[in-house]
Structure 1
């Protein structure tokens, strides 16, 4: 798995099931956004790049476009195939996409672009896009204006090390990019509703650098999070919580000159 960060390789290999249970889906508004911003619909082909376990696939399938998934981590890709057996799933990386030139109308990176944000990846994305095709970047971002969410992030962030993450903004440094027009940004309110153990604890434990910790350290993180839940009046003893997010969606168009 060359060019894959060690935290992604180890963490996502170790805990693909937690990724499914702990990660939120996406707001309903993202589907009309995909249609309007990317032109997705019948007769179009979209690539889900860094598709993971396929969390974003239901949104893409709702557009009625043909969907192809590319995911380099075998455990994640195998989970995707089990959950979405009718989707073509390929082993590949952003820097080496196993598709022909000008073969897709759109490329979507959901919760993924920060892992491979580079000139090489953008050049490869431009290669597989048809003229006038679009690139979309989507992230569910925790709303840290809520006290307990900020406290949860503080627990998690102590373990991040050098792992690429959305919140650092480092991924933005590759834009403006040759072969692409300017980024257009849209934001949607979102919530992940469910039992605290799933939407809070599993969410934290599914993070690559947490999942990759030795078992004793990972359990210590889990204990801290359980203590946070128990000490927070809005969470303690509840059967269902609404974890607040904001979904950040970006799109840009491939321009004719991709040199």
Structure 2
């Protein structure tokens, strides 16, 4: 994905902010705990916080959270649902916080949108020495046969890079921060995966997939055809046709320490 295409995808979520808030899953609590367990304290920046899915979990774990989000519509949803959280406009490339002001920077389904050549030194700047940067991604467990079938039917727009365990491992394996320059020194990255799940119906899973960037930038007729094809697959599957079911997922975490 070139720079212009990445920016188009990254900026697509605001138009679906309310649907994103309603339908996107939270994260494995065990994964969130693992992401911050080695941090020197509990001052946590949720970077690219979206509508606050990860923010809410960090608050529940007792962290002192600041949320930063570039999209005004997403930020509005976050402030509506979490009015006591300090939520600021900003981006990974221009973080509106002082030097060494947080113990951890977390990004939920967002780090792949960052321009790491710029964001790496900026994240290092706001992290205290020994601080943790962690990216979290929810991926569908395609080791389950019907999930693998869904991935085939949905195509790359609905089930894209980083959306299954194998592709997530490959896509994030080299997503480490630049190690040149005193302001961008990080240790070796660690990957871990944690079982997770989300209760869905055929309708609500289609609504969830409709909030993916690849779907949001798709021409309307093509989007409708893709979502109809997905709905037909779910409506005819024995695991998914009748009422609620659990969408089997993993929360993958990429964690690195500021030296």
TM-score per shorter chain, which class? 0.7 to 0.9
Determine helix, strand or coil for the equivalent of 1:120. helix
Q: Aligned match of 2:44 in 18, 33, 46?
A: 46
2:221 maps to 216
- Between the aligned partners of 1:75 and 1:104, the Cα distance in structure 2 is 25
On the 8 A contact 2:49/2:67 being kept in 1, the answer is: yes
Q: Aligned match of 1:228 in 216, 233, 238?
A: 233
Provide structure 1 residue ranges, at least 5 long, that are not aligned to the other structure.
Answer: none
TM-score (norm 1): 0.86
Aligned residues: 246
- Between the aligned partners of 2:152 and 2:98, the Cα distance in structure 1 is 43
2:198 maps to 192
State the Cα deviation string for residues 75-131 of structure 1 (Å, max 9, x = none): 111111111111111111111111111111110011111111523211110011011
Q: After TM superposition, what 4+ stretches of structure 1 lie above 4 angstroms from structure 2?
A: 163-166
Determine helix, strand or coil for the equivalent of 1:202. helix
- Between the aligned partners of 1:186 and 1:245, the Cα distance in structure 2 is 14
On the 8 A contact 1:185/1:248 being kept in 2, the answer is: yes
Deviation at 1:159, TM superposition (A): 3.5
Deviation at 1:194, TM superposition (A): 2.9
Provide structure 2 residue ranges, at least 5 long, that are not aligned to the other structure.
Answer: 180-184
TM-score (norm 2): 0.86
On the 8 A contact 2:193/2:252 being kept in 1, the answer is: yes
Q: More displaced, 121-130 or 164-173?
A: 164-173
- Between the aligned partners of 2:214 and 2:36, the Cα distance in structure 1 is 34
2:94 maps to 96
State the Cα deviation string for residues 198-256 of structure 1 (Å, max 9, x = none): 1x2112101012023233222212211111012211111x111100001111221101x
Question: CA RMSD, aligned part only?
Answer: 2.3
1:182 maps to 188
- Between the aligned partners of 2:155 and 2:90, the Cα distance in structure 1 is 29
1:246 maps to 250
